[in-house]
Amino acid sequence: MKSYAMDKLRNFILVGHGGCGKTMLAEAMLYNAKATDRFGKVDEGNSVMDHDPEEIKRKISINTAVAPCEFKDHKLNIVDTPGFFDFVGEVKSASRVVEAGILVVCATGGVEVGTEKSWDYLNERSLPRLVFINKMDRENANFSKAVSALREKFGNRIIPIQLPIGEAENFAGIVDIINKKAWQDGKEVPIPAELSGEVDNYYQMLTEAVAESDEELLDKYLENDALSPEDLLTGFRRETMKGEIVPVLCGSALKSVGITELMETIIQTLPSPDVAGVVEAEIPGKGEMVELKASREETLSALVFKTMADPFVGKLTLFRVYSGVGKSDSHFLNSSRNQEERIGQLFLIKGKNQIPVTEVGAGDIGAVAKLQVTATGDTLCTKDRPVLLPGIDFPKPRLVMAVYPKGKSDEEKISSGLHRLVEEDPTIKVEKDTTTKELLLAGLGDLHLEVITSKLQKKFGVEVDLKTPKVPYRETIRGTSKVEGKHKKQSGGRGQYGHVWLEIEPLPTGTGFEFVDKIFGGAVPKQYIPAVEKGVRETMDEGILAGYPVVDIKVTLYDGSYHSVDSSEMAFKIAASMALKKGFVEAQPILLEPVMKVRVVVPEEYMGDIIGDLNKKRGRILGMEPQNGMQVINALVPQAEMSQYSVDLRSITQGRGDFEMEFDHYEEVPPNLAEEIVANAKAAE
C-alpha cells in the first residue's frame, strides 16, 4: 500500500446500536474498494473485522478493528467499534484517534438506545458525522420513519441527501438528492415518479440549511429563490465538515447497495487529518503546552489507542501518528513513562493481518509488535523533542465479581493472564481485597466479565468461577468491659502461664486501635507486654463476631500475674487473645458495613423508578440536579446492596442510565441483618 499525503487520508469510526450492521458495512467497503477478494460475513465467521475467537463464537464485535482501503486515489482508515455497552471503552479509545464518525442506523430499528449513546460519544469529541441507514432490504425497513425519529431526537441538522428506491424486498437502488440522479445495479436510471416530490422537498430543505449558514449565500438565495449547484455543493461540504449539517445516506451493506456512494460522500464531505492544522501537546514535567504542525515535516508525535495481547505473538500496539513520520527499525521515546522503546518492523493493520511498511506518516494509523513498557494511552515521540498528547478518558468499571480458580494450581496463571488482559483492555480492573482475601475482577457489565473469563480460558488455559464478592464488614463495640484472660498449662516439665486483665472501650469512628499499658509494680513483666499487644492485634485481624477485622477500640492492660518459670511471650499472647474474645462479646458488639457514595445519571422519565429502587436498597437520597438534559441523583447506599447495580440500572433504564460510586464511610448494620450475617459466618466456618 503506497504512502498518502494527509489531504488524501480519511480516518473515521463506525458507531451505532449493537446489531445495526457496522461490521458488515466495513466488510462491504473493503470489498467494494477491492481491499479484500471475498465479501466476509459476520454470520459465517469469516469477516476481516470480527476475527477474535470470541467475536466469531458470539457473532458480535467485542474489539475495535482497523482496516485501510484505497478508493479513488484516497486512503480510508475504517475503524469498526462494538455496539454493546459493555465494550464502550473500545469506542472511547477509537473515537480519540479519528476525525469523523459514521452513525449506522438500522432501517427497521430506527433510533435505539445505542444510537443515542453513539451520538453522545461523537459529541464528546465534536466529530463531524454522516448517518447511514442500513438494512434497507430488511422486512419492515422504513426510511422515512427512521429519518423522522433521527430529526426528532437530534434536531433539524439531520438532512437526507439520498432516498431509497423501494424498501424491504423491493429495495432496488438509491436516489442522489443533490445531483438529482438515481442509481440501480450500478447504472444511472430515471428517478421514479413517485419519489420526485420527496426529492424536491429534501433538496429545498438542504438548500435552506446551506443558505442560512452564510450571509452571502443567504442573499443569493433570497434574490433567486435558489442556489447554483456549485454554491450548494460547496456550502454543503463546508457545513458537513463543521458538523452543522448531518447528511443521511441509505443502503444495504449485505447486498452492497449504496456503498460506493457512501465512500464517495466520505471523501467529499468528511475532514482529512491536515484540517486540524496543529496538534496541541504538553512538554513533560513542565506543564507547558506546545503546538505541533499536523504535517509529515514536523517532529514525531503518536498516541497509542489499542493494545492486543496474544500469548503466542506477544503484544501488538496500535497507534495514530499526529505529526512527523515513524520509521521501522528505529527508537521512539515513550514520554508517558520516560523510557525509550526499540521499534522493529512497523505495520498497517487490516483486521488481524499485518502489512509490513517502512514508515507510518502523520495522519495515519499503524502498529508495532513487542514493545516493552508501552500501554494504551501512552505517547510515542522523539528523544530530542519529548511531548505528551492528551490521553484517553476510559469509563470506570461498574460491575465487580470475585474470581475463584476451578483448579488449585491455577492461582498464579490467573494473575498473569488477567494482567495481560488488563494491558489489552483498560476498562478492566483487578485487585486483591486485603480484608476478604478475594481476588476481585471489575468490568463494565456481565457480558464484559463473561468475555474476560472466556479469554482467560482460551488464551491462557485457566478456568475460573465468578461469584458475588464478600462485603468487607468490620466489627466494633458500643459498650465497655473489664475482663480476665488466663492461660495456664502445667502437666509435667515446663508449663505455660500467662494472666492479664484488660479493659475494652469503644473509640470514635475511624480512629483505629489504641493499646495502653497501665501496669504498675511489675504485675506483668515489661518483656511480655509487646506479646499482650500482639495477641490483641492478631485477634482483632481475625475477627471475633463473624470473622471480620475489629476496628475503633481501645484496649488497656491494667493488671495480671506471671510465673517465674512457666511464663512466656506465647502464653501472654494467648491470654490476651482469650481476654479480648470474651470482653468483646460483653461490650455490645456490632457489625459495621461500608457505605458507598453513589452518583446516578438518568433521563428524567426514569427518576421515580431509580429513587424507588435506591430506597429499596436501603439508600439515602442526598439530592438531585439537572445536567446536560439528564438528571443526576446523589445517594448513600450500603455496598452490600450494590453488587449487581450495573445490571439493575441497565434493566430499569434500557441502558440509558449510568452511575459511578466510591467508598464513603462505615456505619452500623441494622440488627436483623447483622444477626443473619453472623449466623451465615458461623455456618460457613
What DSSP assignment string belongs to 146-194?
Answer: HHHHHHHHH-TTEEESEEEES-GGG--EEEETTTTEEEETTEEEPPPGG
pLDDT of 493 above 80 = no
Q: What is the pLDDT of residue 222?
A: 87
Q: Cα(499)–Cα(332) distance, rounded to whole angstroms? A: 68
Q: What is the pLDDT of residue 311?
A: 59
pLDDT of 478 above 90 = yes
Q: Cα(65)–Cα(361) distance, rounded to whole angstroms? A: 20
Q: Name the least confident of 44-58, 417-431, 493-507, 597-611.
A: 44-58
Q: What is the pLDDT of residue 499?
A: 95
Q: What is the pLDDT of residue 420?
A: 85
Q: What is the pLDDT of residue 282?
A: 95
Say if residue 423 is exposed, middle or buried (CB neighbours under 10 Å; 0-12, 13-18, 19+): middle
Q: Where are the alpha helices (DSSP H) in 514-592?
A: 529-542, 569-586
Q: Cα(138)–Cα(164) distance, rounded to whole angstroms? A: 13
Q: Return the SS3 of 137.
A: coil
CATH fold for domain 591-684? Alpha-Beta Plaits (3.30.70)
Q: Which residue has the cell 488449585?
A: 408
**How many CA atoms lie within 13 Å of 346's alpha carbon, on the beta-carbon side?**
21
Q: Cα(82)–Cα(90) distance, rounded to whole angstroms? A: 7
Q: Where are the alpha helices (DSSP H) in 510-568?
A: 529-542
**pLDDT bracket for residue 310 (50, 70, 90):** low
Q: How confident is the prediction for the chain on average, in pLDDT? A: 93
Q: What is the mean pLDDT of residues 439-443?
A: 94
pLDDT of 491 above 80 = no
Q: Cα(236)–Cα(133) distance, rounded to whole angstroms? A: 20
CB 664, CB 595: distance < 8 Å:
yes
pLDDT of 260 above 80 = yes
Say if residue 466 is exposed, middle or buried (CB neighbours under 10 Å; 0-12, 13-18, 19+): middle
Q: What is the mean pLDDT of residues 232-255?
A: 94
Angle between helices 88-95 and 113-124 (to 10 degrees): 30
**pLDDT bracket for residue 408 (50, 70, 90):** confident
Q: What is the mean pLDDT of residues 471-483?
A: 96
Q: Cα(483)–Cα(481) distance, rounded to whole angstroms? A: 6
**pLDDT bracket for residue 419 (50, 70, 90):** confident
**Continuous segment of H or E residues that includes residue 279:** strand 278-282
**pLDDT bracket for residue 423 (50, 70, 90):** confident
CA distances from 344 to 11, 170, 206, 355, 357 (A): 25, 53, 50, 14, 11
**Continuous segment of H or E residues that includes residue 293:** strand 289-293
**Continuous segment of H or E residues that includes residue 114:** helix 113-124
Spell out the residues 6+ positions from residue 123 whose beta carbon is closer than 8 angstroms to its own: none
pLDDT in tens, 86-104: 999 999 999 999 999 999 9
Q: Cα(584)–Cα(476) distance, rounded to whole angstroms? A: 8
CA-angle at 305, arms to 379 and 55, nearest 5°: 160
Q: Cα(157)–Cα(245) distance, rounded to whole angstroms? A: 5
Q: Which residue has the cell 511498511?
A: 357
All three cell numbers of 54: 470470541
pLDDT of 490 above 80 = no
**pLDDT bracket for residue 510 (50, 70, 90):** confident
Q: What is the pLDDT of residue 152?
A: 96
% of the chain at pLDDT higher than 70: 99
pLDDT of 500 above 90 = yes
CB 363, CB 9: distance < 8 Å:
yes
Q: What is the pLDDT of residue 185?
A: 87
pLDDT in tens, 180-206: 999 998 889 999 999 999 999 999 999
Closest CA to 63 of 434, 427, 330: 427
Q: What is the pLDDT of residue 413?
A: 82
What DSSP assignment string belongs to 208-236?
Answer: HHHHHT-HHHHHHHHHHSS--HHHHHHHH
Architecture, CATH, for domain 474-587: 2-Layer Sandwich (3.30)
pLDDT in tens, 132-183: 999 999 999 999 999 999 999 999 999 999 999 999 999 999 999 999 999 9
| Span(s) in the chain for CATH 3.30.70.870 | 399-467
Q: What is the mean pLDDT of residues 43-69?
A: 88
CATH of domain 6-275: 3.40.50.300
**pLDDT bracket for residue 459 (50, 70, 90):** confident
pLDDT in tens, 641-657: 999 999 999 999 999 99
Q: Cα(300)–Cα(381) distance, rounded to whole angstroms? A: 5
Q: What is the pLDDT of residue 682?
A: 86
Q: Return the SS3 of 607.
A: helix
| Span(s) in the chain for CATH 3.30.70.240 | 591-684
Handedness of CA 122, 123, 126, 129 (dihedral sign): positive
CA distances from 386 to 97, 297, 485, 497 (A): 20, 16, 66, 68
Q: Phi and psi of 443, rounded to 5°? A: -145, -170
DSSP state of 470: P
* Strand pairing report for 346-350 and 365-369: antiparallel
pLDDT of 353 above 70 = yes
| Span(s) in the chain for CATH 3.30.230.10 | 474-587
**Which of the following CATH numbers is that of domain 399-467: 3.30.70.870, 3.30.70.270, 3.40.50.1820, 3.40.920.10?**
3.30.70.870
Q: What is the mean pLDDT of residues 214-230?
A: 85
List 325's β-bridge partners, or say none.
361
pLDDT of 309 above 80 = no
DSSP state of 528: G
Architecture, CATH, for domain 277-381: Beta Barrel (2.40)
Residue type, 587: A
| Span(s) in the chain for CATH 2.40.30.10 | 277-381
Q: Where are the alpha helices (DSSP H) in 372-476?
A: 411-424, 446-460
**pLDDT bracket for residue 406 (50, 70, 90):** confident
Q: What is the mean pLDDT of residues 280-286?
A: 92
Q: What is the pLDDT of residue 216?
A: 86
3-state DSSP: the chain helix, strand, coil percent, rounded to 5?
35, 35, 35
Q: What is the pLDDT of residue 492?
A: 66
Q: Return the SS3 of 580.
A: helix
pLDDT in tens, 315-330: 899 999 999 999 999 9
pLDDT of 615 above 70 = yes
